[in-house]
Amino acid sequence: MGQIESAEAVAEPQTTANDTSKPTSLESALAEAAEYGSQHTESVEEMAQKALECPCIADLRTGPCDSQFSEAFLCFLKSTSEEKGSDCVHPFVALQSCIKANPDAFSNDIVRKEESNELGPALEYKIHPPKWSKESRSSKSRL
Amino acid sequence: MEGEEHLSSSVCKDIPNLLSSFVDTFVDFSVSGLFLPPPPPSPVPLPTRLPSPQRLVAIGDLHGDLEKSKQALRLAGLIDAADRYIGGSATVVQVGDVLDRGDEELKILYFLEKLKREAARSGGRIITMHGNHEIMNVEGDFRFATKSGVEEFRAWWEWFRVGNEIKSLCHGLEKPNDPMRGVPSSFRGVRKEFHDGFRARVAALRPNGPIAKRFLSQNVTVLVVGDSIFVHGGLLPQHTSYGLEKINEEVRDWVKGSTGHFSPDYCRTADGLVWVRKFSRGNEQECDCSALEHVLATVPGAKRMVMGHTIQEVGINSVCDDRAIRIDVGLSKGCGDGLPEVLEISGKSGLKILTANPLYQNKGNAATVDVGKEQGLGLLLGEHGGPRQVEVQA
């Protein structure tokens, strides 16, 4: 019996494994373009622009930080550096500033609802706070 | 034109994943100021026993002091002036206590992650360990957190939340989990202005919290490299008989959230691996060398134990014939502001202290070996004076 069980256990990972590591086509196209240099710049630009029209992005291209988002995302898509995005400091900083000035730039009803729904039965979660954070007991009489 | 249409639809198929990595990159940059190299293709399993590398470097407690941490790494020739990893195939062990007492805890966690990835690409390895302060913080014990440290977590949450909001606006992406789920909205007895900071700290560091899962779950609690045992506090015979691999896995599973709020007992009690001071406190006379000998004998091939946890005011030192090596130099500004020193163990020259201490530059009788890195000097272990320690609570 033990043998049967262990045989099953060994076989299982093979059946559940599914291949998600395959490079996606936009990514590989961009990588290819990077490799072949500037002659392909136009098609990369074109591809990245097309990406901005995709439905996933639609809701992100509204609101006060729409242009900052688009620029940062576009730059990231086109980034060819080893640490992807590290050549996008300027558009990233611009997006940061916009979000700081408009904290609700991307907030949406679904997320807010969840947050206001916050965990029903006041879950007892005890922390040990540091001394500097405690309310003072100055009102206590010393007599 | 068929090709073009195909391109357009395949472009959109990829966008949710690309948006997700864009958001992660943006959040990481906003929190740490860093762009991380890509992670290793497959997750690296936790190491418990490793063969001896040519060069092994051990670094003590860092306690939220990013600048001094970098000084220590530079001293060891592990990073260059631009903070890039240049340590080649070295193995580096940080013996825990990155958290508490300092203001840049997250920045150190991120920086070590960056170095781990850079090191892996040049055949090196950086291994981080749990100290008692990692265990305490995952359990919600924040007594040694600084005001700016708590603020760093509050700011982390601001960016992390925006990131989740952006992700949840893309229909092709699964809705991200809310890390604040179950975190109380206030804490009794704590001043109101700090509630958001503590909520963020709980959310980030509790078992399965984003920071705990991403960074702390890579930590080991005990490690054997060649003939050296590494542990934050100290190893006792009962830990060996419990099983070193088992300890590392159980603590990791706890950090990942599968075993509840509290860590296993061997992390919590005074004789727990991250708390023991038996071999790191006091001088040679106060150290129970025969007990140490007994523990070492329980781990095949082990010749020495390398520990942090107790600040050594005189710098890195050894007792019991180089079998107990104490490397917590209290470098953080938040506790001692000691001069950075690291331990080097190499196949050829044995044990060496690399120190920033200028005193040793002219010390005729000290066995100094120029390691040729910045102001760093090599001192053979055992050349320090008698050890004196500073007792620091926890």
* pLDDT tens sequence across B32-57: 999 999 998 888 899 999 999 999 99
Q: In whole angstroms, what is the distance from residue B385 CA to residue B347 CA?
A: 25
Angle at B358 between CA B353 and CA B360, to 5 degrees: 55
Q: Which of A96, A108, A127 sits opposite B30 (nearest CB)?
A: A96
What average pLDDT does range B258-279 have in this prediction? 96
pLDDT band for position A32 (cuts 50, 70, 90): low
Which chain A residue has the Cα nearest residue B144? A130
Q: Which of A51, A69, A133 sits opposite B194 (nearest CB)?
A: A133
Contact B11 A86 (CB under 8 A): no
**Residue bearing tokens 């007994």:** B294
Q: In whole angstroms, what is the distance from residue A75 CA to residue A86 CA?
A: 10
Which chain B residue has the Cα nearest residue A110? B168
Taking only Cα atoms into account, the Rg of chain A, rounded to an integer number of angstroms, comes to 26
Structure tokens at A100: 């700081």
Å between B189 CA and nearest CA of chain A = 6
Å between A1 CA and nearest CA of chain B = 26
Render pLDDT for B70-120 as a digit per residue (tens, 0 to 9): 999 999 999 999 999 999 999 999 999 999 999 999 999 999 999 999 999
Q: In whole angstroms, what is the distance from residue A123 CA to residue B352 CA?
A: 51
ipTM of the complex: 0.87
Q: Which residues are A128's β-sheet partners?
A: B141
Contact criterion met (CB below 8 Å) for B319 and B55:
no
Distances (CA, A) of B91 to B53, B76, B258, B334, B345: 7, 12, 30, 27, 10
Q: Chain B contacts of A26, Cβ < 8 Å?
A: 10-11, 14-15, 18
Q: In whole angstroms, what is the distance from residue B158 CA to residue B27 CA?
A: 9
Which chain A residue has the Cα nearest residue B172? A56
Percent of chain B with pLDDT over 70: 89
Angle at B343 between CA B337 and CA B349, to 5 degrees: 150
Low-confidence winner among A94-108, A129-143, B202-216, B293-307 (lowest mean pLDDT): A129-143
Q: How many C-beta atoms surround the C-beta of residue B363 within 10 A? A: 13
Q: Chain A contacts of B17, Cβ < 8 Å?
A: 24
Find the catalytic residue in B130, B133, B232, B384.
B133
Contact criterion met (CB below 8 Å) for B240 and B299:
yes
Q: Which of A72, A110, A129 sits opposite B190 (nearest CB)?
A: A129
Render pLDDT for B334-369 as a digit per residue (tens, 0 to 9): 999 999 999 999 987 789 999 988 776 544 333 333
Judged against a pLDDT cut of 70, whether residue B10 lies above it is answered with yes
Contact partners, residue B143, CB within 8 Å, separation at least 6: A128, A129, A130, A131, B136, B394
pLDDT the model gives residue B379: 60
